[in-house]
Chains A and B, each alone.
Chain A
Amino acid sequence: MTVDKGKIRIALAGNPNSGKTSIFNELTGMSQYVGNWPGVTIEKFVGHRKTGEYELEITDLPGTYSLSPYSPDERVARDFLLFERPDVVCVVVDASNLERNLYLVAQIVELDLPIVVALNMIDIAKGRGITINIDKLSALVGAPVVPTVARSGVGIEELISSIVDVSKKDYCPVPLNYGKVAERAITEIENTISAAPPLAMKCHISRYLAASLVANDAEITSMILSADPDAENIRKSVGKIRLKMETRLGLDGESMLANMRHGWASGIYHEVVDHPRHDEPTTTDHIDDVLLNRFVGIPIFAGIMFLIFWATFTLGAYPMDWIDSLFGVISASLENLMVSAGFSETLISMVVDGAIAGVGGVLIFLPNIIILFFFVSILEDSGYMARAAFLMDKVMHKFGLHGKSFIPIIIGFGCTVPAVMSTRTLENREDRLLTILILPFVLCSARVPVFVLFTSALFESNQGLVLFSMYFLSIAISIIAAKALKIILFKGLSTPFVMELPPYHVPALKGILLHTWERAYAFVKKAGTLILVGSIVIWALGSLPPGAEYASAESFAGRIGAFFEPIVRVFGTDWKGAVSLIFGFVAKEIVVATLAVLASSGNDANLANALGSIYTPLSAYAFMVFTLVYTPCIATIAAIKKETGSWKWALFSIAFNTGLAWILATIVYRGGRLIGLG
């Protein structure tokens, strides 16, 4: 393998929960940065490490159990290995779970790339009395094996030197033997596809491709065919060879490969481990006996959820207030400064009410996000997250969602922004997207002031009941939307739930703090710009043309409100309501503030009276329904765009939710009038 100018390109592969991320952190430290794999919404972590005269460029592949074509994570990992051809692949293997981890190694071995195995969590294996013969393992796998304890940095230097060593040699592991019948089929296929010149030049790994064709791998098949004009003939010959093999084996190609690979893993495992597991209950089992107990499991989970919610939103309120005050001071000082410097009123307003307020609007989310992700990281790294999904899946699945969707939804009752960000725990892309689209329907705390206002103005005797009905509606709509969107968008696609419950770990503080910091930073960087821009646009709409009173009928916002008046009259409100709703795009709390400004009232009591004279109970309820359902706030839109990687779904959310809101509000108002409730 030639290494170009002292730069070694490394791919980091391994099972989820194998400690791969810790190894990546140890190798790259703060040099790591996050991008996206092209065309998908999976995060791509890349980092660097200098050692001697070499520079290592390390790409962290998504954690996968295998390299099949079935999930985006696996496709991304496989495509990188097949097409980018890194100089070395470092496979991180969990020493306390060696047999299963070797299944992935079996597949990487066939890719004709130099490998180094990082035998991680060797301390945990030792603790369980598992001793592994490193030399034997190395000989059987055909690659150097370096024991590591990533959490404490043990073995990292040796790993690095091993990687550098391997990159200098022509060191390629020996692929598996699949048995006479299968091997013959694979060789025949190899010859068939090698006959096509463009293909032979494209890949060095004809054996891997042949094996994939034997397993009827759809992706590889289409890749090979697209490279070749003689595609149809090749496809037919390959099909024939595969069929012959499957008939002789009595087994389809995919199963054959899986069986053989597991057999290889199992064989090696029993050769190198001198204390193979007995199915004895481990500490993890004992803990699960409590946490997954049929009586106390769910109450404990509820308790943990409550704790996290309380910490995020109740405790988080303090730093949020500080930030609020801080920005109040900053804007006041800045305003004074600018006034005395003689800047125009419009410019001052733009800077203070627009930009500063906008920045404040971004930073105000930080306490929630930081606290929340601190806890979510603990849940994930400790292994409890999988248990939570296990407990909640029955209910979630009924609504077309995944057990792991539960926590984001609960968070959504506080604030949608961190809820959307926490959907990252969902491994499956479709599940994650569906959950993200549902979250805006969950009644977030920012909408509550609107409800409180209207219920106190128009439903004095029934305030609690009406508020409760809003929560009920929110849940009902979420459920119905989940089912509907699943059918419409995903054609009722069934995604696998099959999930590992990893052994419990004490999470490393360093890792948690790093994760939390990354999330917060990414939010500010990516969502921040959008929120800032949105705030300034709204400010402009409300304050321009110059001279117009804020949000009055002469401002652009007012004119837009007037433009929409016919549409909003349908569900019983007027241009002032429209303007308030438009401003609600920035943040739902602003709806109340805007109503107050437009009603030209000084305080809430007056506002309630003012509203009481404009709205009837029915039109108030319709307005509330509209507020409940319509477009998410800018921050949520920004979060959706960031998490889904494209504008498509963010815009869909705006359009779908607002359209639905209009329909429902109209049904409530017009339907109510028809029945005579009006």
Chain B
Amino acid sequence: MTLDELQIHDHAEIAAVKGEGAIRSRLMDFGLVPGTRVCMLRRAPGGGPFEIRVRGTLVSLRPAEAKMIEVEQIGFCGRRGGHGKGGRHRGFWRRFCKWFDDKK
């Protein structure tokens, strides 16, 4: 799958980086190379760029750019899992958010 297909709070490892020229170079500048792990954080309201965390940096990229990165999901990160405490959402609010996220 490609980066744009990840769901929010998915933890993934990069398998390959396609594309060429300036855009690919830029992706690599931020450490988006095979073997690197990324966390999908959010998408801009109304669609548009994604925000991910890679090597401690918050990076945003357009869907077309995200499509160039092949990834494999390895788990969850951010709120839902990892080292967080299960998040601020509780009960109804958590289920609502999950429903909303899944609708994305």
Contact = CB atoms under 8 A, between A and B. Distances in A.
Residue in A279, A403, A499 whose Cβ sees the most chain B Cβ within 10 Å: A279
Contact of B25 (A254, A280, A285, A294): A254
Interface string B20-32: 0111111111110
A495 interface: yes
A99 B33 contact: no
B86 interface: no
Given A394-B49, A496-B23, A281 B79 contact: yes
Given A71-B22, A100-B56, A496-B65, A279 B39 contact: yes
Contacts of A280: 82-84
Interface in A474-525: 494-503
A259 B33 contact: yes
Interface in A358-403: 386, 390-391, 393-394, 397, 403
A65 B47 contact: no
Given A278-B82, A496-B23, A103 B49 contact: no
Nearest to B35: A259
A494 B23 contact: yes
A328 interface: no
B43 to A, nearest CB: 8
Given A262-B31, A500-B30, A501-B59, 18 more contacts: A65-B26, A66-B28, A254-B28, A255-B17, A255-B28, A255-B34, A258-B29, A262-B33, A278-B83, A280-B82, A280-B83, A280-B84, A288-B51, A391-B45, A393-B62, A496-B22, A497-B62, A500-B58
A390 B21 contact: no
Contact of A394 (B31, B46, B65, B79): B46
A495 B62 CA distance: 11
B23 to A, nearest CB: 4
Contacts of A281: 78-79, 84
A236 B21 CA distance: 22
Give 8 closest A-B pairs by Cβ, nearest first: A394-B48, A258-B28, A65-B29, A501-B58, A70-B22, A294-B45, A496-B26, A496-B23
14 contacts: A65-B30, A66-B28, A255-B28, A259-B33, A259-B34, A266-B55, A281-B79, A288-B51, A494-B23, A497-B65, A498-B62, A498-B65, A500-B60, A503-B58
Nearest to B48: A394
A155 interface: no
A68 interface: yes
B60 A498 contact: yes
Residue in A99, A266, A394 whose Cβ sees the most chain B Cβ within 10 Å: A394
Interface string A275-307: 001111100110010001111011000000000
Contacts of B78: 279, 281
Interface residues of A, number: 46
A97 interface: yes
Given A498-B61, A501-B59, A255 B33 contact: yes
Contacts of B29: 65-66, 68, 103, 258, 498
Contacts of B44: 292, 390-391, 393-394
Contacts of A403: 49
A294 B27 CA distance: 25
A500 B23 CA distance: 14
Contacts of A501: 51, 58-60
B77 interface: yes
B51 A292 contact: yes
B67 interface: no
Contacts of A386: 60
Given A279-B83, A494-B23, A298 B53 contact: no
A520 B25 CA distance: 36
A403 B57 CA distance: 20
B27 A498 contact: yes
Contact of B56 (A97, A259, A294): A97
Contacts of A288: 42, 51, 58
Contacts of A254: 24-25, 28
A258 B33 CA distance: 8
Given A394-B44, A394-B47, A100 B57 contact: yes
Contacts of B34: 255, 259
A262 B25 CA distance: 13
Interface in B82-104: 82-84
A496 B65 CA distance: 8
A262 B36 contact: yes
B82 A279 contact: yes
Contacts of B35: 259
Contacts of A499: 59-61
A545 to B, nearest CB: 57
Nearest to B77: A279
Nearest to B65: A498
Nearest to A128: B56
B53 A279 contact: yes
Contacts of B25: 66, 68, 70, 254
A99 B56 CA distance: 8
Given A254-B28, A259-B34, A497 B49 contact: yes
B55 A99 contact: yes
Contacts of A495: 22
B87 to A, nearest CB: 9
Nearest to A499: B60
A478 B35 CA distance: 43
Nearest to A259: B33
Given A277-B56, A501-B58, A393 B49 contact: yes
B61 to A, nearest CB: 5
B69 to A, nearest CB: 10
Contacts of A65: 26, 29-30
Interface string A418-440: 00000000000000000000000
A553 B97 CA distance: 72
A97 B61 CA distance: 19
Given A298-B45, A391-B44, A498 B56 contact: no
Nearest to A493: B22
Nearest to B34: A259
Nearest to A293: B45
A107 to B, nearest CB: 10
B45 A70 contact: no
B51 A390 contact: yes
A77 B45 CA distance: 36
Contacts of A279: 39, 53, 77-78, 82-83
